[in-house]
Structure 1
Amino acid sequence: MLRKILFSLLLVAALPLGLAAQYFLNGSAVQTNDSCFQLTSQRMFDVGSIWYPEKVDLRRSFDLVMDIFFGCSDADGADGVVFGLQPISASVGQAGEGLGIGGVRPALGVEFDTYENTNRLDPVFDHVAIMANGSVTHSGPDNLAGPVQASERSANIETCRFIPLRVTWDAPAQTLRVYFDCSLRLEYTGDIVNEIFGGDPFVFYGFAAATGGLFNRQEVCFRFNSFLKQLEDVTMCPGGQVLLDVRGGERYEWSPAAGLDDPTAPSVTAAPDTTTVYTVRIFDACGIPLVDTVRITVEGDSAFVKLGPDTSICPADFISFDVTTPTAIYQWANPELAGPRVSVNAPGTYEVTVTRQDIICEASDRVVIDHLPVPILDLGPPDTTLCLGELLRISPQNDVGQPVLDFNDGLPFDTLYISRPGRYRAFVDDPCGLVFDQIDVDFINCREIYLPTAFSPNGDGINDQWFPQDGGDVVLIHRLSVFNRWGEQVFEAFDLAPNDPGVGWDGRFNGRELPSGTYVWTLEASFIDGGRGIREGSVVLVR
């Protein structure tokens, strides 16, 4: 049975906000925040993909780091992951066992497969393989490396949690490496430009995903992308300072340390005396470093008066400025201020001119002060009820952009997936105070169906028919069968609605009344939660 529909991944950098919008989203793919995308939902036959719209040059090395979510269903889930390189188009590829890369030639794909298709020579465990030219069968020359177990720790990767994934291409060494859950799982060395892409080094990169008869929610969040440089070279005046910001790591190491306020922070203030090239090593969740560089050129006139950058403060707070300079006089554009040291609270623009009397020179600076808005945190409706087996996804709405923190461990999160009942609380540690919100979640069984354990078809109008009954959980009963003690089928019906005596069993077979005794039944039905299941049991026929 062909149930493998593509599950693929998507590639976006965990860089400044808005960069994710550079990617083409197709089909069911949606952006959930600045660095996360949902490719498919918990529905059958969803298809979605994302591709970078400009080709990249494989003669240059790249490094991609992300967290990937394969869903929560193992035996009932599907299907797999492919990171793709291909020069043909930026669109959705073949579904089914093609995993979104099937039929694309030339192509190279890193396949993460979570469903066993024996006709494709899949192993029983969730696996990773490197494939060429749209092949998803593990034989022949297009199976470049693998398959091997995807996770070093477990045969299953549909674990209802985000898992670290890293893909690197070492262009000089012509080596592709795949790190999964902090372990190097697979690598391939080969001249892919000439052997796969016919000498053309320019390709699209991206991912695609889909569901079929089995499905899982499939998402990816991106932390680092070397295709999109984080640090841009800058020029500053002597005595000035610039801010350097990077993201996507668990810890950071800047060098040289001279001129930096904190060489271990993701955001540093740099004030070098001379032109300097800074290097930052960004360590991911697995402790593997990524590297970026920036050149700060120092030239021009000195600036010895600094009020600092534009900023926002809480309505009840004050901010102080100190522009003390030897043998100087101070002239503020704001008539209420005087002297080298002032404190202000009201929003507005503040400007000062400092004149040094000893060397007869002056300098000016200005800063804009604004008030921080009152934060509002919204987790959604306060009371939510779902079906058992469903997953509630909460992406907190926070109008001021502060990190939302889990109440229990104090750690920040963008998205929360809830599968158990309870009260879930979060807060924003805003500079102006803590803001809380909570949501109560309950789960109910949406697959309840009842069939009587006995009935007496004696024509008295009571329990003469045996039929399925429910309280609204059943969409359709696809098949209902009854067997006698020797395994002979004595009743069968298709496409039934529950609670209808007219479609039930009257205790007859071929118009003949059957004797009293115990009979076995099986039933297959679709339920309101989108699932489909089989039920079995027995019924006593009483004469």
Structure 2
Amino acid sequence: MKQTLTLALLLLLAGSFRLSGQVQLPYILNGAATQRTCNCYILTPDQQTTSGTVWNKNKINLRQSFNYVFDVNLGCKDDNGADGIGFILQTKGTNLGATGQGIGFKGISPSLGVIIDTYQNNDENDPSFDHLAIQMDGVTDHLSSNNLAGPVTALANSNNIEDCQWHLFRIQWDAVRQQMDVSMDNILRLTLNKDLVDDIFGGDPEVYWGFAGSTGGYSNLQQFCAALRPAFNFDGGQIFCDGTPIQFKDYSSSFGAITHWWWDLGDGSFSVDPQPPAHLYPSAGHYQVKLVIADNSGCISDTLKAPFTVGAYPVARFTPDVLCLGGGMTMSDQTSIAVGTLKKWEWDWGDGTTSNSQNPLAPYATTGPRNIRLTVTSEQGCANTVEKSVLVSQIPTINGSGENVCLGSSTHFQGVNLTPATPVASWHWDMDNQATLTGIQPTYQYPDTGHYLVRLYAVSNDGCPSPEINIPVSVTAVYARAGRDTIVASGQPLQLQAQWGDDRLQYTWSPATGLNNPYIPNPVALLHKDQTYRLTLVSPEGCRDEDQINVKVYEGPEFYVPNAFTPNNDGRNDVFRVIAAGIPQLDFFIVWDRWGQEVFRSNSLPGGWDGTCQGHLAPAGTYVWMVQGVDYTGRRFSRKGTVTLIR
């Protein structure tokens, strides 16, 4: 029967049980109090200046012990909420209550109240936090002699109980020891040792009990339930692993005696026992366990829905197989698990030492084989162990070199193992331009000039990589530029200038004819006839390049002007220009037509007239020109004449 009950049948039983139980509730409601569910009551709605009480119409005898468990909810408004609720013992009757700061307790005497106060009334010496206190005879002033215990924070870990949450509120009376313990969420908050019968109720042990709540200028929705809270737990040594029977233990809380349990174990199995038999799940996986309880008042709890995992066993693995002294000594956990979460790692290094990190550093200081054992345990308590031999080896120490070369030549590299006792199996070169090489003596031709920082590491026969080292190399190119061909006047000093400025380069001009120094970038030439000079550049790496410049020497200083030109774009004699030997500065060069109209003007060399005027072809004929400039000695002079434009 236990394993074949369906959930629908359980709900049907629960529903019928609730209907028969609700008519038997022995409570009397006053003021704003209303019944919300079978076992739950609203003491005050979220309204100002209201009060409500719920009294059990049957007296209890304080010569007997009791253990009452409730759920309480003080609302959701913290800053502007009020005023609180109280569990009250009294002998006056079941139609009592008061609004405002009295919390439905004020003025009731004789009485004992366990008060949850959520508003600070300075005239009653309230603390600023939501507090719990035991008081008597309807007096709520905490400095009064009627304040028997507290105040303390209502919750152990918070100053605020107006948090929208339900909290388990337990009142336990031990009649033999005459001790009352008050707990909130299963944490003891107050203890009172007092003869309640004689000291408060004048020897009368028969008292009414109930709850009261009130609001004043502020308000909150304030509720309580005769506790009916399903819960389950497990033994401390229980593991939750595939193939292991699971023993559920009922830890439900109830105001009255629990009379019924309905368990749905999440895999199609059901039970109505207070504690189901140890259950073996068909496989590892995630399940949802549901529990519903009912008490002797006929009320049925909400359904507890608790996720529950039956874990698989881990598959323990780790790397590497080789540890490198002075390099990689970190162990890497590679364990996997199909269902569950890995929680604990236990490394046994085989030398009496252990570690609990997931990826620890191995503690070895000498080379040789080591037996390492790893045990991994999941949150569900499922464990697996793997053991293997790991070699502890030494890393190589290396050096290397590379040549500085000229562009177009290959650089030769050399690796050196400084620890011959640790043989190297492979060399790895990063050329600093996304290229890589291997081998102990590689060569590489860089595609461009530059300074490169080559990175090199080596790997030993056991697989241990060396530290990386840097090897700087340079690839150089030189470009000889002697300058543009030019003209000078006979005897005019000419400054030559190599168009490359680098103090590391060697400069040679040849022949040395007319030069003041043929081994500098910018010698001065003094010529009386045409000359061609060749410039040779050589870098420290041996990079070499040559260029030449042609120097035309004229008698002068003088202007040399042709008497005709043919601007027909045949590449010969297309431009009418002036050759100004020994004249570095031109004032003007002007051409007029035969009617005196200016058709061309320039003050630059070696510019000239291309035979056009205002964008049109000038007609064939004779034109007048004039040129003026300053020679290299500073003398200004001019020349004029005619030129024939031939079409």
TM-score (norm 2): 0.34
- Structure of higher CA gyration radius: 2
